[in-house]
Amino acid sequence: MIKPYGSDQLNPLFVADDAQRSALEAEAEQLPSLLLNSAAAANAVMLAGGYFNPLTGYMNLADAMSVSIEMKTSDGLFWPVPIVNLTEDNSVSAGSRIALRDPNVEGHPVLAVMEVNAVEEVSEEQIDLMAINIFGTLDGNHPGVATFKGLGRKLVSGPIQVLNFSYFASEFPDTFRTAVDIRAEIAERGWETVVAFQTRNPMHRAHEELCRMAMEQLEADGILIHMLLGKLKPGDIPADVRDASIRKMVELYFPANTVMVTGYGFDMLYAGPREAVLHAVFRQNSGCTHLIVGRDHAGVGDYYGGFDAQTIFDEKVPAGALQLEIFKADHTAYSKKLDKVVMMKDAPDHSKEDFVLLSGTKVREMLGQGIAPPPEFSRPEVAKILSDYYQALDAKAG
């Protein structure tokens, strides 16, 4: 199996030993507390699951700045986005041991125990410099920029030991999996070549066929459909609805033992190219050999060029930094001429009218009215799940 990123063995920060974890939980109740924001909590969950291997905790300011600007830590580890604990809390001091509390679970239980190596003040100029490099913009309308700039100006760094997986394990027991879990299942299935498909949306026919194309071209043993389960921007479809629609598609339209439907506990950054590279890092940690990177991968609005998330791998990722390879996908749509889904670049004789193309807004309107999109665009069984969700949403709003 492909090696984890940055080490020979995966080093998840979840404390798996029951006795050790119980002792830490008891200790944590006596420690000073820091209530995390959702972004820092999501980072802890990703560190817990081994997704952010080989990191051992939250980055300090020097590493955060270096990663933002040069895509590497101070000691030279290639890394695409800073993994930080920014806060507005002034009570934490360097050299202390603290309990990190979960903002997303009622009662704010302890999520992790942290050794505080440093507490550093981050200037507005430093925040802006990080944001412009991570997101490519300082526009406050960009959801990632708005979130990042609102996290706080105290950067608390140091190693952590994580005690649970927040709400992800309890709310999504059939779907949430750690990198450790996924590696174990890949090994159990006997897969060698594994393609990861990233999604924060339901999957339409084009996505389904894209997975199939990648599998065939790479002669892969299986596909990991890996959905984000954390916080999204307003208007995005909730994880439970996405999960149901994706599972229905896989059940009906893929052969047995070719697809793993899983999810990971992270909040969407909407960082386009930088987030695509992060996706590659943690898919390698999950045991995948390839990642599908399509048009506007991890993007939002018009902030990124259609294929910026592909070119960053050629222009910014050092040769040999990743063992995982990128499967570059074009915009994919149903061809009326060929009566099948194709990548648009593979159909140079087509005009726009030769494809079944629907905007997200148009699909949303149709589903809200109980009108199924054409079967060339969306499987009817998937459309039914989405239509039920949108009609319930509209009824509630009305």
Is 201 a known active-site residue? yes
CA distance 138 to 132: 6
Q: Tokens standing for 358? A: 């629907």
CA distance 37 to 231: 12
The secondary structure of residue 173, as a DSSP letter, is: T
Among candidates 52, 62, 113, 126, which has minimal Cα distance to 83?
A: 52
The helix, strand and coil proportions of the chain, stated in percent and rounded to the nearest 5, come to: 35, 20, 45
Could you confirm whether 37 is annotated as catalytic?
no
Catalytic entry in 21, 189, 200, 247: 200
| Rounded-to-integer distance, Cα 236 and Cα 202, Å | 10
- Contact 197/223 with Cβ under 8 angstroms? yes
Nearest in space to 369 (alpha carbons), one of 355, 341, 388, 348: 388
The amino acid present at 370, given as its one-letter code, is G
**Catalytic annotation, pick one of 201, 212, 247, 364:** 201
Residue 9 burial by CB count (10 A; 0-12/13-18/19+): exposed, middle or buried?
exposed
| Residue type, position 273, single letter | P
Active site residues: 200-201
